[in-house]
Structure 1
Amino acid sequence: MMRTLIVDDEPLARARLRRLLQAADDIQVIGEAGDAAEARQMMEREPDLVFLDIGMPGEDGITLAHQLRAASLPPAIVFTTAHADRALAASETAPAGYLLKPVESEALLAAIRRAVQPNRCQHAPRQGLTVRLGREEVLLTADHLVAALAEDKSTHLYFLDPADGTRRREAWLDSSLNELESTFDGHLLRIHRNSLVNPSHVHSLTHDGGQHHCHLRHLEMPLAISRRAWREVRQRIGRDALH
């Protein structure tokens, strides 16, 4: 059973979501919260999944999501919002999905299915990758990764320095892209047969001359998106990121 928390300042929205969740298998609603402060108090109940409203008075859902992801056992997060244009800002917290209000049953069940796989990764805080930089060994988690590119017979990895979280660094790995996908299952997005990206670092998608490109924070060059991958990329990143 996925222990589930509903966070929304609107009582009617919470009631609708709770009613829809009753039809979902393996979901146990363990509580409701009307604001971020109340939600933080309920985190001691250790939810596996949080349905989180973005636009709440005071502290909004995006701010709260950043705090929840810093926990040792972070829950999967599905944002609920009446404003589709908030999706790109919310993507920085790498949520499991988004639901537009009023929430519909089919979309809700699809979001739950998407949340299951990332949730297993989030509950494995030691999962990561050790890279060697000269004499230094650095342990990277999924949050540190920006992109991985297959070049010749190696993988060129771009990541943020775990010490400060802002300085970009690079390393060459013997691991293949498939192996990285397996290690960080659910956290990396394949945009091309030669490239993986971390969705939380994507700031926009563009279309130019028949080719789609992905633009990431901390990486100057745009990365090509294949036709085969485009549909999943658009679903995962959100339509509002397309320029």
Structure 2
Amino acid sequence: MKALIVDDEPLARARLRRLLAVDPTVVVVGEAGNTRAAETLLAADPDLVLLDIDMPGENGLAFARRLRERPVPPAIIFTTAHPQHALDAFASSPVDYLLKPIEAERLLAALQRARQPTRAQQEQEPRLTLHIGRQTRQLAAAELIAVLSEDKYTRVIYVGGEALIEQSLKELETRFAAYLIRLHRHSLVHRGRIRALERGADGQHRARIDGLDSPLLISRRCLPEVRAAFAGTLAAE
């Protein structure tokens, strides 16, 4: 599940990120200090927006109303220090209305409810079918970590495990274009899981990915797009 945090207080955003890190299926695809900055991050198609109400410029209630007008609106969890907005807030059909300081148990319970996709979300989000032994699993895009080309097969690394499939990287890159970005001709990673870009003593660039122990090589051809995608997630922090 891809989450966007919108709050004008850096400490509040940092606390939410820490609390969300407990759930490995949640990927924070961006942070914003106001709704104008949040607007630029909607290209990541978040499944969930954790939204403060009192912020400079447009407030969270107005932004929530605009989010509801999207073809596939994200789930909304209001996070605020002001209980008096609750009545107006629920007009936007939020998953929950959490008062600061946010309690971990309340947030996790709200995440469980946010996981129930709307019919529009079910029709919109692609899923990857995995055959593991005698079992078949439908893998949500948010659960993907990396996809690596290995000999005749493709290795899919996801939250909780990995599997070999026959689809090519090119097929998966096209199907999951909103979620996966190419690092190299042999690798794709989830956009929201890139945590750092670094340049080694050998002059090669690599990306550190949430869920992987070792950084992955970035080709010169892919580097500009990877840099732009990574900068986009940090632009409003």
Q: Normalising to structure 1: TM-score of the pair?
A: 0.52
Post-superposition Cα deviations, 1:118-151, rounded to whole Å, max 9, x if no partner, equal xx9x563663111111122111011111100112
Task: Name the structure, 1 or 2, with higher relative contact order (CA <8 Å, separation 6+).
Answer: 2
Residue 165 of structure 2 is aligned with which of 173, 192, 205?
173
Q: Distance in 1 between matches of 2:70 and 2:134?
A: 47
What are the superposed Cα offsets for residues 32-67 of structure 1, whole Å, 9 maximum, x if unpaired?
A: x89487596244289xxxxxxxxx96449xx79x84
Query: What is the percentage of aligned positions where both structures have the same residue?
Result: 29
Provide the rounded CA distance (Å) in 2 between the counterparts of 1:143 and 1:70.
Answer: 11
Matched, 1:44 2:36: no
Q: Please state how far the C-alpha of 1:157 moved relative to its aligned partner.
A: 0.9
How many angstroms apart in 2 are the aligned matches of 1:57 and 1:130? 39
In the alignment, the residues of structure 1 paired with residue 124 and residue 114 of structure 2 have an alpha-carbon distance, to the nearest angstrom, of 11
The residue aligned with 1:204 is 196
Do the aligned partners of residues 58 and 195 (structure 1) sit closer, same or farther apart at CA in structure 2, a change above 3 Å counting?
A: same
What are structure 1's unaligned runs of at least 5 residues?
Answer: 47-55, 75-119, 162-168
* 1:76-108 Cα shifts (integer Å, max 9, x gaps): xxxxxxxxxxxxxxxxxxxxxxxxxxxxxxxxx
The equivalent residue for 2:58 is 14
Q: Give the partner amino acid of 1:206.
A: E
Using the alignment, how far apart are the partners of 1:183 and 1:239 within structure 2?
21
Equivalent residue, structure 1, for 2:35: none
Seen in structure 2, the aligned counterparts of structure 1 residues 70 and 237 have a Cα distance that, compared at 3 Å, is: farther
CA pair 142-43 structure 1, distance change in 2 beyond 3 A: farther
What's the counterpart of residue 207 of structure 2?
Answer: 214
Residue 233 of structure 1 pairs with residue 226 of structure 2: yes
Per the alignment, residue 127 of structure 1 pairs with: 126
CA spacing shift, 1:139–1:34, aligned 2, 3 Å: closer
Name the aligned partner's letter for residue 41 of structure 1. F
Aligned pairs for 1:112-191 within 5 A: 122=121, 124=123, 127-161=126-160, 169-191=161-183
Q: What is the match of residue 3 of structure 2?
A: none
Label 1:13 to 1:218 Cα distance change in 2 as closer, same or farther (>3 A). Answer: same
CA 1:214–1:131 in 2, change beyond 3 Å: closer, same or farther? same
Q: Tell me the amino acid that sits aligned with residue 187 of structure 1.
A: Y
Partner-residue secondary structure (3-state), 1:182: helix
Is the Cα contact below 8 Å between 1:72 and 1:125 reproduced in 2?
A: no
1:156 and 1:170 in contact (8 A); partners too? yes
**Contact 1:128/1:183 (CA < 8 Å) preserved in 2?**
no
Matching residue of 1:51: none
For structure 2, which runs of at least 5 residues remain unmatched after alignment? 1-41, 43-48, 72-77
Distance 1:183 1:130 in 2: 13
Task: Give a deviation string over 1:1-42, Cα, whole Å, max 9, x none.
Answer: x9xx99554454117xx8xxx9xxx989xxxx8948759624
Using the TM superposition, give the Cα deviation of residue 186 of structure 1 relative to its aligned residue in structure 2, in angstroms.
0.4
Local SS of the residue matching 2:213? strand
Q: 1:13 to 1:139 in 2, by over 3 A?
A: same
Tell me the matched-pair count.
166
Query: Closer, same or farther in 2 for the Cα pair 1:159/1:228, shift >3 Å?
Result: same
CA root-mean-square deviation? 4.4
